[in-house]
């Protein structure tokens, strides 16, 4: 039996679990060759440990966004957005709040809601991929320390908000650590969420042509 034959059996067993620890791996009907790149959920460090013990450097492991074993450079890098920093959101123009307390288990994902209120005299649009993905920040320093580690589709979905109205936007909260000192998951405690709105006009043409990224004030997050 080849390494791939053995690994395919293990991956098939893992993919049948609930919850599934696999984010991505070589197709089980493919003829893969080492190193086999396997992306695991942030909470699946024990799975990575077993795979590494069995296959060594014949597997290239990512847990959340960080390479495994600790210190391995094969991770996905930071989740924070590069380039010029986004401007702060003016709460007198557009305000946001969570649709209830945000409480999530360490290493897991929370599908939540963001209430966005338009205080302007004209309708606005929020350009999204169907929702907004939050980053986790240290509430003391403001450093981005984590976020969502899974794959996302990227369709353009525009949420229109008339003057004086409030719209509930789907909010995706992940707790994969991007900071090696914290390990692979954001540990239990009180953290904060950084939410960036892509503000545009109320039509698709405006969303494609003219957008303005604004960072909302930090929102509370509890990790258990």
Q: Which tens digits make up the pLDDT trace of 52-104?
A: 999 999 999 999 999 999 876 655 655 544 445 589 999 999 999 999 999 99
CA dihedral 188, 142, 109, 73 (to 10 degrees): -90
Strand order across the 196-200 sheet: 87-88, 211-215, 196-200, 124-128, 157-161
Q: What is the pLDDT of residues 134-174, one digit of tens each?
A: 999 999 999 999 999 988 777 789 999 999 999 999 999 99
Q: Identify whether the C-beta of residue 84 lies closer than 8 Å to the C-beta of residue 153.
A: no
What is the token pair recorded at 79?
Answer: 């989740």
What is the token pair recorded at 197?
Answer: 């709105």
The reported pTM is 0.90
Instruction: Give pLDDT, residue 80.
Output: 43
Distance CA(155)–CA(18), nearest Å, equals 28
All domains of the chain in start order, with CATH: 3-68 (no CATH), 88-223 (2.60.40.10)
Q: State the average pLDDT over residues 184-198.
A: 97
Instruction: Give pLDDT, residue 73.
Output: 60
């Amino acid at each position: 039996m080849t390494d791939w034959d053995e690994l395919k059996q293990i991956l098939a067993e893992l993919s049948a679990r609930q919850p599934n620890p696999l984010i991505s791996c070589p197709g089980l009907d493919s003829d893969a060759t080492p190193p086999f790149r396997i992306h695991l959920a942030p909470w699946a460090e024990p799975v990575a440990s077993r795979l590494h013990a069995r296959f060594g450097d014949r597997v290239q492991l990512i847990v959340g966004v960080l390479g495994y074993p600790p210190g391995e450079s094969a991770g996905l890098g930071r989740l924070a957005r590069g380039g010029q920093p986004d401007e702060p959101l003016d709460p007198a123009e557009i305000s946001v709040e969570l649709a209830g307390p945000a409480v999530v288990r360490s290493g897991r994902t929370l599908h939540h809601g963001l209430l966005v209120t338009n205080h302007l005299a004209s309708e606005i649009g929020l350009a999204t991929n169907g929702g907004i993905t939050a980053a986790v920040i240290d509430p003391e320093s403001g450093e981005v320390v984590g976020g969502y580690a899974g794959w996302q589709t990227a369709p353009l979905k525009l949420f229109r908000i008339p003057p004086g109205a409030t719209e509930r936007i789907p909010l995706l909260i992940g707790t994969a650590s991007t900071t090696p000192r914290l390990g692979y998951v954001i540990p239990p405690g009180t953290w904060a969420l950084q939410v960036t709105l892509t503000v545009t006009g109320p039509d698709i043409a405006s969303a494609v042509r003219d957008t303005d990224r604004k960072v909302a004030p930090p929102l509370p997050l509890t990790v258990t």
